[in-house]
Amino acid sequence: MDYKANYEKWLNFEGLDASLKNELKSMDESTKEDAFYKNIEFGTAGMRGLLGAGTNRMNIYMIRKANVGFAKWILEQPDGANRGVAISYDNRHMSYIFANESAKVLAGFGIKTYLMESLRPTPELSFAVRYFKCAGGIMITASHNPAEYNGYKVYDDTGCQLIPEWADQVTKYVNEVEDELTVKVPSSDEAFDYINWVGEEVDKAYYDAVKTCEINPGLDKSDFKIVYSPQHGADNWPVRTVLRDLGYDLVPVLCQCAPDPDYTNTKSPNPEVPSSYEEAIKVAKKVDADVIAITDPDGDRLGVVAKHNGEYVLMSGNQSAAVYLEYILSQLKKQGKLPSNAVMYNTIVTSDLGELVARSYGVDVEKTLTGFKFIGDKIRKYEKTGEKQFIFGYEESYGCVVKPFVRDKDAVQAVLLAAECGNFYKKQGKDLIDVLNELYAKHGTFKESQIALAKAGVEGAKRIQEIMATLRADHPTQIGDYKVTLAEDYQESKRSDGTTIDLPKSNVLKYYLEDGSWIAARPSGTEPKCKFYFSIKGKDADDAAAKTEKLQKAMMALIGE
């Protein structure tokens, strides 16, 4: 792609948005290249990227182009135009504008839409697709990315993000749009009859559904306090409404409740980043809270901090999910409600601890590729066959679902579960970290961590490809002090022992070490990063931490970083 020619085409386009034209005029040569050297990728996670002018940026023109592709796919679905598309958006810059543009483009194809009247979280969008029996859905969000990003995610008629087979079909249609600048968009008046504004009706139905996730509904909620922050995002009212309706003493972090697209009062909107908890911990110390919960901007991820021995301890997504599983399964078993054909889903880069907890209760475990769409697709499969009954699904990246009335990560469900777990165990004289330590004592101590190598721009993309190609061409036989006993290549669908991997192809490599630890590598599907996942097994917490540090250094040395 000739970035200079593309730049000139945009610059000289007579109808170009004025703010984008001004941005083009201020670009230096390296910025021009990065903004125009390729089209922003539409993949299995939709699109996500920096806001701004250019074909490699998120702007109204690339949104219009994406919606042409999605509209053509919707029209192929049974009664797709009439069933329509649900559309929601978070608090980010341009989110409402992108959502409105999406609705207008779809209207141009005769497709009905259900457009949220104000920001709503991702799980509520998934719920709305199912509530209105739509043919699909659109969520405008960049999830937990920094403020300068936005994105576009598409959903099928079950409220699940499109699986690769269907996303490829949409991508084909998107790529057939030759000129994103000349996509025809109806006026607001012309689109009016196709757009249905959505408000409290779906809110109430969604909140009522979330409330059914309580495992012990009659549990006394006195003497338990939870501090909550939406990190300026879309979960503020859903979480606060649900928990207060159920009688919880919830203390909001008020300075982070306004839907601020600049995330002014948080160092990061990402629950995976420790600094994102600083304001919430300050509030928790003032009110002596038992648990802290923070959700990301689009309300699908939850981070938890538990008070333990007078200190506030951050839990990883793997750790909190293992505790949730222990609570859910132990209580369902006690109540005689644990199905004999129960199944739990997690991913190939998720800790082994959750699987060990599930199997200790006789619950089957199935792993998927990274991306909650694969878990949603598993739910769909067994919903049809009745062969297995869904009990819980989660990813290491702080996302889970308790009940499948949504088919994406649901932080509103997760906050309720974290509160109920914390409350239940407090009444037994324990906290969430105590329960985690009990699980370690029973199943082995694991320390999970991640290194995300940020490699932006043209050269960064090349470097990420180089890292994966080098590892793939010559699988390491030893990492640090430990032999690699098995290597898995999910792009080639094969293992080093000659067996095959029965999952969709994906650019992931995973190495199992002789001590029961493993390390995985994959490029991010939504950010310019190459991610390395470490699940390290140790004799105890100190041993696991020491081994993790050594293996992280060894892995980075192996790839020359």
Concatenated DSSP letters of 339-384: -TTEEEEEETTS-HHHHHHHHHTT-EEEEE-SSHHHHHHHHHHHHH
| Three-state SS letters, 309-327 | CCEEEEECHHHHHHHHHHH
Distance CA 122, CA 324 (A): 21
| Active site (annotated) includes residue 143 | yes
Query: Would you tell me how many other CB atoms lie within 10 Å of the CB of residue 4?
Result: 12
246-251-253 Cα angle (round to 5) = 135
**How do strand 311-315 and strand 364-368 relate by DSSP bridges?**
unpaired
| 100 touches 67 (CB < 8 A) | no
Q: Is 534 helix (H, G, I), strand (E, B) or coil?
A: strand
Catalytic residue from among 95, 102, 126, 143: 143
Q: How many Å separate Cα 393 from the centre of its chain?
A: 13
| 447 touches 546 (CB < 8 A) | no
Segment (H or E) for 151: strand 149-155
Residue among 101, 223, 162 nearest 408 (CA) = 162
| 259 touches 232 (CB < 8 A) | yes
- DSSP category for residue 275: G
Amino acid letter, residue 377: D
275-279-284 Cα angle (round to 5) = 115
340 φψ region: left (φ > 0), alpha (ψ -120 to 50), beta (else): alpha
Q: Is 20 helix (H, G, I), strand (E, B) or coil?
A: helix
Bridge partners (DSSP) of residue 314 are 305
Which residues are identified as catalytic? 143
